[in-house]
Amino acid sequence: MKEKNILQILKESRYTVVLSGAGLMAESGYPLLRDGRESYEIEEKYGYSFEEIFSSGFYSARKELFFRFYKEFILKAAEIPPGEGFYALKTLQDFGLVDSIITRRIAGLEDRAGCRNVLNMKGTVFHNSCPGCGREYSAEYIRNAKGVPLCEKCQTAIRPHVCLFGEMIDNGVMTKAAQEVEKADVLLVLGANLASALCSQMMQYYAGTNLILVSDTEHYSDQRADIVIYGRSDHFLADIAAEYKKQNKD
């Protein structure tokens, strides 16, 4: 039974790192704003693609339109709670089967589900601050502001601490992510193919013995994995958690 085999690998692992991709997020009901049907809605409504409007250049030059889009699509999506997969991932952490989690998603789903040692490479929508004075602001403050959200202290436009298109991921964050992957003897990829931006950035640092890929879609890069499971990541994680409980009950 595949759950038993993979569970045994996780139990024997010295250090397991999860790469959490867009597929796990989509299973929670999150819209895929860049690649899903919502991308057409965005372009039709605003006259710009998702990549154009969610960019550093657009934030700098057209803040009114940027924040209208940001509130309507980004923050609205972030109201959706974590799905079953993220809570199952936390359960595996509680069992000592997962050590750290790396993601490029900005909705903070892993943190909100109670996961620990999560590295949000591109930040999250829940961290915002004034570029002038450094004062921190919540996502609710951004959402409730009329027009461009301004700092209450110095009236400067608040900056969401997410990595926009046209920006590089912080070097310190990249270094930490690389160090986590270097430590791993098991790398568990959930809801992403191995040619995705997340995996492409991280795979060069991996020198472990078991690369496990869980995806609902076949991809040419799958051959690079040691074990491939086709199906939903949330169901896979729930099955592993259930198998662990069964073994420990017996």
- What is the arithmetic mean of pLDDT over 166-187? 96
Taking residue 35's Cβ as centre, other Cβ atoms within 10 Å add up to 11
pTM of the model: 0.94
Mean pLDDT of the chain: 94
Q: What angle (nearest 5°) sits at the alpha carbon of residue 85, between those of residues 170 and 202?
A: 30
Q: Is residue 249 pLDDT above 90, yes or no?
A: no
Q: Give the pLDDT score at 144.
A: 96
Residue 37 banded pLDDT, cuts 50, 70, 90 = confident
- Collect all residues with Cβ–Cβ distance below 8 Å to 217 and sequence separation of at least 6: 23, 193, 230
Q: Which H/E stretch holds residue 215?
A: strand 210-215
Here the tokens at position 1 are: 């039974």
Q: Is residue 196 pLDDT above 90, yes or no?
A: yes
Q: Give the pLDDT score at 1.
A: 47
Q: Give the pLDDT score at 31.
A: 86
Q: Give the pLDDT score at 39.
A: 85
Lowest mean pLDDT among 29-33, 52-56, 109-113: 29-33
Q: Give the pLDDT score at 34.
A: 77
Residue 33 banded pLDDT, cuts 50, 70, 90 = confident
Q: 198: closest CA among 186, 183, 209, 187?
A: 187
